[in-house]
Homo-oligomer: A and B are copies of this chain.
Amino acid sequence: MKTAICDLLGVDLPLLAFSHCRDVVAEVSLAGGFGVLGGSMFTPEQLEAELAWIDAHVGGRPYGVDIIVPERVSAMQPGAHADASDLLAAVPEEHRAYVDEILAAHGVPPAGRSADAWSVPSPDDLLDVAFSHPIKLIANALGVPPAVMLERGHAAGVPVAALVGAREHAIRQVEAGVDIIVAQGTEAGGHCGEVTTMVLIPEVVAAVAPVPVLAAGGIVTGAQMAASIALGAAGVWTGSVWLTTPEAETAPYTREKLLRATSRDTVRSKGRTGKPSRQLRSPWTDAWAQPDAPQPLPMPFQTLISEPALRHVDALAAAGDAGAQELATYWVGQGVGLMNEVKSTRDVVYEMASDYADAAARVAATID
């Protein structure tokens, strides 16, 4: 199958795969799709190591990098290059105490409050690393990319993509010079808006044509890929579907929970990053939805308290701690209801391609 995006990205399948795990990125690209490494959780040194590994394993196939550069940086944030301990000092005691309280209610000891537990690398440093590798796409996951990302991408002949959850945002992105719009419906795991994929894709396609649009949000099957093409998308951007592969970064107990979860077991919550993002529902997300809960902090401060706590929870859950197992959660979309068995990354790609062909033939048969 071929769409406009295939030539632009040099791939056989218009299937982009976002993952924090280098193995998933390389395997998807090797199978004919396009892997995109989520780089925002890495230090520049870590990102360098991951991309070097990908270069050594991807056999020259194309891949990309995604980082999160929020368009509006909170006034609480001392500066783009602040180190984690400066930022952590700005977190109110009420929020630290509430995190400890959530854990304690499930018999989980506090996660510790070391600034080393989480870092907030400068986007500029991550871009330096990314552009020193043969990336074929650079994406910004939140808001209009900074001018430096657009300039460096265009100078290097690397298309710049941006994720949007609303038609109006897509128009602003294209005006800013973005080359590929990833229109992400509310059913998506991670940061998302309120409009669903079925409505958002045709809206965005009509608004930004001929700029290519990738459909995102809930897409875990080839039939959904075909539906996305029918809606006018040039391809799909996926994330959740890779989380239950053996190659993914998913914590072991969380993977089990994802396999059991239905499409009704996710929730859009500010409790993890400070902005609405869709996650597996757990007592952690419930706690931040309580009327008496502190208001989640603006990005990146909520992350500074949630990530160390949830990584601590993941470790205890893997060791069999019942309270931690209840609390365990991760970003995932409503498509989790269609993810019910472990399959290798390559098998997921091949099944999606095959399922796509069946669905496309089903549609073609109605107009014979």
Question: A residues engaging B (CB < 8 A)?
Answer: 1-3, 166-168, 185-187, 193-200, 202-203, 206, 217-219, 221, 223-224, 226-232, 262-264, 291, 333-335, 337-338, 357, 359-364, 366-367
Contact = CB atoms under 8 A, between A and B. Distances in A.
Contacts of A335: 199
A202 B186 contact: no
Contacts of A227: 198, 226-228, 230-231
Contacts of A219: 198
A232 to B, nearest CB: 6
B202 A224 contact: yes
A227 B215 CA distance: 12
A50 to B, nearest CB: 31
Contacts of A223: 202, 230-232
A188 to B, nearest CB: 10
A1 B367 contact: yes
B217 A198 contact: yes
A55 to B, nearest CB: 30
Contacts of A231: 223-224, 227, 359
11 contacts: A3-B366, A185-B196, A199-B263, A202-B221, A202-B224, A202-B338, A223-B231, A230-B359, A231-B359, A359-B363, A361-B367
Contact of A187 (B193, B199, B264, B367): B199
**Residue among A167, A194, A202, A364 having the largest count of chain B Cβ atoms under 10 Å:** A202
Nearest to A2: B366
Nearest to A232: B223
Contact of A337 (B199, B262, B333): B199
Given A230-B227, A337-B203, A363-B226, A197 B196 contact: yes
A195 B264 contact: yes
B230 A195 contact: no
A361 B199 CA distance: 20
Contacts of A364: 360, 363-364, 367
Contacts of A166: 263-264
A128 B203 CA distance: 43
Nearest to A226: B230
A264 B186 CA distance: 11
B199 A338 contact: yes
A333 B196 CA distance: 11
Nearest to A361: B367
Contacts of A167: 262-263, 337
A218 B166 CA distance: 15
A363 B366 contact: no
A360 B232 CA distance: 11
Contacts of A338: 199, 202-203, 206
Nearest to A14: B366
Nearest to A206: B338
A229 B218 CA distance: 17
A230 B198 contact: no
A203 B220 CA distance: 11
B196 A334 contact: yes
A335 B198 CA distance: 9
A197 B364 CA distance: 21
Contacts of A221: 202
A194 to B, nearest CB: 6
